[in-house]
Structures are given as structure tokens and as C-alpha cells.
Structure 1
């Protein structure tokens, strides 16, 4: 009798264990190439992950590991779907700028769907600067040959890319003398750039349009800012002239840039897993609650399936590589 009861208890325990295992959600680690939990990289990845996890039945968490570790994870992961990445243009720019080796190139990973965009890249100056746009800044330098404008950028980043488009345009339209009156000051995170501006150590900084709104129109002259160049169109943005509106071009075309956020996998990712994420990401980007949450953060969903996203990001890489190769390197610009 005791043996029978013991057997029944063992069977029951095994059944409970099996049921628990069947109901356990798949654990997925979402890595990003940033170590910050306050910037667009984390906020977008976290928002996308929450909705994607609901669609996929995941137990998922964003891990801000930084670019170097993210690249290495994508290079070495076995591709079972336990780890994915969500990151912006620095995924390819780090290699194009030479910060990271070719082993981390797009060809050595699998491109997943595009899930979001941040159109808020901009350049800002103090409110009392003697120019209101980047074009006016070039005119100011032309009229004042002994003046210089110091621009805070992060080496090998989206900010450098946006600056190079402006520098190249100044060089083409105002010549080398005026272009040499522009000087890059190497800077790090956004808070550092802003402090450099307020301290008078730089004249223009790369920032986020919505991030500077708290300083636009304020009475404190020390903190007051204005946008002098927006990289892409933003609905409702006032007193924020875009590059295109100012006539800033590259290769004869108006220059525009938003940060594009894509899902990235290890090179040997399971095909069925990647296909399921494509389907789920499409649903997420159509979800009205997701759209609302993204809008509150001043970002937007921007779905492209994996095939279209791959073509898009490869073409964007080609265009941005042409821009980088047309301009001096960062060391020259900081002289």
C-alpha cells in the first residue's frame, strides 16, 4: 500500500513538473550597444521588447551591455534565439569608422526587421548665438574670418556622421578657409555636451530635438538653447529648420537622417525563430498601444520585414560610407 501511494506521488510530481515546464516562457536576452538606461537605445529597445515578448510569449529583458560586448555576443552566440540585439546605425557605423574590426560587419550577422526610428537628431546652440541656422553659421564665419565655431561630437558616431554632411556642404559652398573655421571638439554623452555648451567650451552640440525643448525659450540665458539644424522632419517641430529646408545636401541630394533601429541576430540564427519574430514585429508596429507609447517618447514604429530591412540598412551603409570617405578623418577635424 505504501509503495502504491509512493508511486502515485511520484507520478503526480512528474506531471506537475512537466506542466510547469510546458508553461514556462522562453527566456530571451535583448542586448543593446549602449550602457545607458536613459537614452533612445534603451528606451526604444525596452518598449519594443515588452510588446514583442507579449506576442512571442517570451520572458525577455533588455541588457545594456555596450557596443563591444554586443558585437561579440552576436559573433559568438549559437543562434538558438536565446539572445537577440536591437540597436541603431552604430551597428554598422562602428565598423565603417574603423572603431571595430570587419569581423563585426553586417555580413557576419543576420539582419532582422526594422522596428523603430528616432527622427530627433539635431544640432543646438545657445539662444544668444549670432546665427539661427547652420547656413547662417557658415555665413557668420565667412563674414568673420578670425572667428571659429566649435562643434561637440562623439567620435565614430551618428553625431560625427551628421557633422560630416554639414562640413562637406560648407567645404563645397564656402571653400576650405571657411570649412577650417569649423572645429570639432570630441565629447561623450549628451549631458557632457550640454555642460560644455553652458560652460562656453563649445558653440554647437549634437543633441536630441525633444531633449533640448526644456531649454528652449527659458529665461535663464546660461541654459537657453535653440535648434540650428534638424536632421529629419518632425511633425509639429517649430523653429527647427531641417537640413533639407536649409539646402544642405550631399551628392546633390537633400541630406536627411533618422536613427533606424533594427533587430539583429547571430549569423546562424534559427530560420523559424527569425520568421516568427518578423511576424510578431509586424503586429507590434501596428498595435495602437505601442504607437501611443512610442509617441510619448517622441519616437515612432517603422516596420520593415527582414528582407526589406536588410536591403535598406545595406544601402544606407553604402551611402554613409561614401560620405565618410569624402571627408577628412576625425583627427584632422579636431585640429
Structure 2
């Protein structure tokens, strides 16, 4: 081939490349994807939700997705290093709450990463007391604090476990400034540690969950391990989608009795505080927009089909698909609401 002919062929190829629509050139997920999660456990709700969503997404796209339980710090590092889509992340509200509470290793996810779609809600976050406790309701707890009684609440500090406690302190502060100091955190680790704090009379109230603590709520009051729910933080909109049979002996109607608006934990603007533990994707800040759209579109098709929703509900999750743009706006709003609650409490403590 002469030099002139080679030049013409190359030029025509360049023109054809330049005229190719951008959408056709957008990146796609590779054939093998690592989905890191912000949990070290393969037996918890994060792994369970991630596995169900990953399986459905992989089938829809015809790729392999492996769920890797590495914990939050390692997950953020892994997704922060990979803009190609080879590594993506799934976690829940702890992703931004950790930053709001100043936990080590947590950045502002809205600045450091790209937010993907929401996929599911675990509506089980709850607060409990011993059966036979003098505190029958959250209102009893708040009134005790208002009257000068110290109420000890066992939590795991710095995130999902603490946000309801912060809301109770905020409600106490609104009812009577200074009374929030009478709600005292008993900082523990695992759920079993929180349970033990209640049984050993080291705490009056504990953070727990429907899944972990319903079995103790079934016990008779004579049993030293018997508990009762006083507050389920999930929004009534989320709980109303839970299976009617609920979990164990706790039906959906029972759950709604422990949630807003029947249980009131006020915010400054007069609304009731609620907290839905939501699972969502997190991407590298520079991940290609084509991959973001590919995942959004694939999940939209998956949720339209309905099979994943049925699987999620069987496992006591609420289907909760929002594409990336909607998810970003929704999660930012939650972040701003909870940020204000935490800031108001800190400002009150600082002024003492």
C-alpha cells in the first residue's frame, strides 16, 4: 500500500471514529466486578441485601459480581482506587452518618464519591426496654429526663445505632432545654453487648432491631431476658410495605404501633423524627457516566420485573429503588436533616 493510500485510509478511519455517537463509546461494567460492602460480616443484613441485589444485577447484565465483606474503611479505600467499575461499593446510611459523627476513616461521601441508586430498606432499627420496666413508651423516657431522672441508653456510637438516641436527646432538649443531659449513652459494641447491658441493669433502654430482638419480645415477663419494643424508627411509609405477617409474633400492625406518628419524637420543625436504614451503591468519583447509567437502567428493569422485590420482602427488606440522581437528592436531604439534629445537640453541650 502506497503512503498516499495509507494516509487516505487512516483519515477516513479518523472521520468515522469522530462521527460515532458518544453513547456508543460509553464505558460499561467489565465481565467480573467486585462489590465491596461496608461490613465485615457475611451473616448480617448488609451482606444479605448486597447478595440479592448483586445476583439480580449480574443476571440482567450477563456478568459476574462477587460480594466482598471487607468493612467500611477498606471498602472506601478500594472503591476510591478504582474508577473503571471493576470495584463498586454497597453500604447504608452509616456511610454518611460516620462522617457526621466524626468517626475515623469516614469522609463526606457526597464530595469524595459518586452516589449510585438506593436498592432496599431494612425497617428494623428499634429501641427496647425490659418487660416490666417503668418506661413503657418513648414519652415515658422523655418525661423522666425532663423531670431530672438519668436514663441510660445502650448504643454503638457513631452511626446508625446512635442516630435515634441523638433524636431522643434533641426531643428532650426541645421539651426542656438542658434535660437532654439526662439521657446518658452507654457505649457498647455488638448487639449482644447492648442486650447484655440491659440484662445486667447497666442500661435502661437499648438500641436493637426487629430481627435481632423480636425473639426476646416473645418471652414472658417472668423471663429475665424478656424485652419490649418502645420505638421503631422506620417511617410509616416503609413499614406499611412490610409483610403483613411481620416477623415472629410481631405483625405489621404491631410494628406500626411503635412507629411515627403513634410514637412521637419531635424535630425542631414539628415533624416526627424517622430513620429508614437504606442500602445504596457508592462509586469512584471519576467512574464513567456510561457505567452509572448502565447500572441504573439494569436495576430499573430488575425492579420492574418484580422477582427481586419478592425476594427482598421474604428477607424482611423493603424494595427501595431510586436511580442515581434521585438517590443523591434523597440521601443529601437525610444527611442535612440528621446533621442539624447532631449540630443542635453539640451546640447545647458546648454552651454548658
Answer whether TM exceeds 0.5 for this pair: yes
After TM superposition, the structure 1 stretch with the greater mean CA deviation from structure 2, 33-42 or 297-306, is 33-42
TM-score by length of 1: 0.84
Q: Does 1:158 align with 2:163?
A: no
The residue correspondences of 1:25-174 to structure 2 (distance < 5 A) are 26-77=31-82, 79-100=83-104, 105-142=109-146, 145=148, 147-174=149-176
Q: Is the 8 A contact 1:285 1:302 kept in 2?
A: no
Shift of 1:229: 0.9
TM-score by length of 2: 0.80
Shift of 1:33: 0.9
Deviation readout 1:244-265 (Å, 9 max, x if unpaired): 3233111221111101111111
Shift of 1:80: 1.3
Q: Is the 8 A contact 1:152 1:204 kept in 2?
A: yes
Q: Aligned partners of 2:219, 2:77: CA distance in 1, in Å?
A: 44
After TM superposition, the structure 1 stretch with the greater mean CA deviation from structure 2, 320-329 or 39-48, is 320-329
Corresponding pairs, count? 303
Shift of 1:305: 0.8
Equivalent residue number for residue 291 of structure 2: 273
Equivalent residue number for residue 313 of structure 2: 295
Gaps spanning 5+ residues in structure 2: where? 1-29, 241-251
Q: Report the secondary structure of 2:320's partner residue.
A: strand
Shift of 1:285: 2.4
Q: Aligned partners of 2:307, 2:74: CA distance in 1, in Å?
A: 32
The residue correspondences of 1:184-333 to structure 2 (distance < 5 A) are 184-219=185-220, 221-232=223-234, 233=236, 234-235=239-240, 236-238=252-254, 240-251=257-268, 252-328=270-346
Q: Aligned partners of 2:85, 2:38: CA distance in 1, in Å?
A: 18
Alignment RMSD (CA, Å): 2.1
Q: Aligned partners of 1:227, 1:277: CA distance in 2, in Å?
A: 38
Deviation readout 1:21-65 (Å, 9 max, x if unpaired): xxxx81111111111222221111111111111112121121111
Q: Residues 274 and 254 from structure 1, CA distance in 2 versus in 1: closer, same or farther, beyond 3 angstroms?
A: same
Shift of 1:210: 3.2
Deviation readout 1:40-93 (Å, 9 max, x if unpaired): 21111111111111112121121111111111122221x211111111111112
After TM superposition, the structure 1 stretch with the greater mean CA deviation from structure 2, 307-316 or 217-226, is 217-226
Q: Is the 8 A contact 2:142 2:171 kept in 1?
A: no
Shift of 1:313: 1.2
Q: Aligned partners of 1:237, 1:160: CA distance in 2, in Å?
A: 26
Q: Aligned partners of 1:245, 1:52: CA distance in 2, in Å?
A: 38
Q: Residues 103 and 170 from structure 1, CA distance in 2 versus in 1: closer, same or farther, beyond 3 angstroms?
A: closer
Deviation readout 1:159-200 (Å, 9 max, x if unpaired): 211111111101211342x43322101111212211222222
After TM superposition, the structure 1 stretch with the greater mean CA deviation from structure 2, 48-57 or 133-142, is 133-142
Gaps spanning 5+ residues in structure 1: where? 1-24
Q: Is the 8 A contact 1:116 1:300 kept in 2?
A: yes
Q: Aligned partners of 1:123, 1:287: CA distance in 2, in Å?
A: 35
Deviation readout 1:140-170 (Å, 9 max, x if unpaired): 4556x4x422111111111211111111101
Q: Report the secondary structure of 1:245's partner residue.
A: coil
Q: Report the secondary structure of 2:254's partner residue.
A: coil
